[in-house]
Amino acid sequence: MKVIILAAGYATRLYPLTLTRPKPLLDVAGKPMIDYVLDNLATIDGIERVYVVTNAKFAGQFQEWADARHRQQPRLQFTIVNDGSTDETNKLGAIGDLHFVLDRERVEDDLVVVAGDNLFSEALTDFGRYCRGKQAPVLAVYDVGNLDEIRKYNAITIDGERRITYFEEKPQNPTSTVTGIALYYYPRTILPLIRQYVAEGHNTDQPGRLVQWLYPRIPFYTWAVPGLWFDIGSKETLEEANRIFARPEPGACPGATGPLPKPSTET
């Protein structure tokens, strides 16, 4: 199994913090947020290589991070993939970057795809186990608890078998507070469909567009994320994540000293 971490964005809403440092390498409670992503993914059995797809501006910084991380965790192999983009005007988009890695690195394996700025308070061991059992595409979902917040993300309807029956990006009239987040499983049998999606000229920006295209064609399942999920999209949510993930206590969410707060819902 391979992991692709999407980290090619420019995070302009976090300027000036991200003018010289990519968002996934910004510190949260003392360590880069990408480390939280990888620490929780590393508990999944069978992961052998991690691809981090980034841009020409930040590829060198990610390579330094990967070299240091490999020294700490030799069993994992890291490949930094430079998509060649230099700013917002020529970026490939999340699906474009996924496709770029598939082609350039000749990937033909089961994939976990995750955004490099998504923080989880719990290990993702059960996500890996669930995906292996299904051997079908899986989307991680999270209840944000607020219909207004869903309008920033996507609306999703799920049947009794956890299959997606409806998916819409940035809905105007959502009826559920459950949303799909940027954590996906794609078995190797699905990779030709990803290539087909791009070849047909569909939107390659938001990764949810691929889910929206795939679920009417093949069974697409969901898995509910436990604990807290943070999508770092602003200085305010970065500050909140620093507070929540500081001073972890045994058996508790990192930094929790009382009732768990609502998660970030920034994009």
Give Cα 131 distance to the centre of its chain: 15
| pLDDT, tens digit, 9 for 90 and up, residues 125-142 | 999 999 999 989 999 999
Q: What's residue 150's pLDDT?
A: 84
User: What average pLDDT is seen over the chain?
Assistant: 88
Q: Which of 8-22, 88-102, 164-178, 252-266 has the lowest mean pLDDT?
A: 252-266
pLDDT of residue 248: 55
Domain 2-144+181-245 is of which CATH architecture? Alpha-Beta Complex (3.90)
Whether the CB-CB separation of 137 and 184 falls below 8 Å is answered with yes
What are the tokens at 256?
Answer: 């929790």
Least confident of 26-35, 151-160, 256-265: 256-265
What are the backbone angles phi and psi of residue 195, rounded to the nearest 5°? -65, -40
Neighbours of 207 (CB within 10 A): 22
Task: Return the pLDDT at 23.
Answer: 94
- Residue 125 one-letter amino acid: T
> In this predicted structure, what is the pLDDT of residue 265?
38
pLDDT at 263 over 50: no
- Strands 138-143, 178-186: pairing is antiparallel
Our CA angle for 156, 162, 166, nearest 5°, is 30
Residue boundaries of the structural domains of the chain:
2-144+181-245
Q: Average pLDDT in the 238-242 region?
A: 88
In the predicted structure, residue 18 carries a pLDDT above the cut 80: yes
Across residues 159-174, what is the average pLDDT? 89
**Measured on CA atoms in the order 224, 228, 234, 236, is the torsion positive or negative?**
positive
pLDDT of 173: 85
**What does the longest C-alpha to C-alpha distance in the chain come to?**
50
* 21 — pLDDT class (breaks 50, 70, 90): very high
Whole-structure pTM value: 0.89
Amino acid present at 84: G
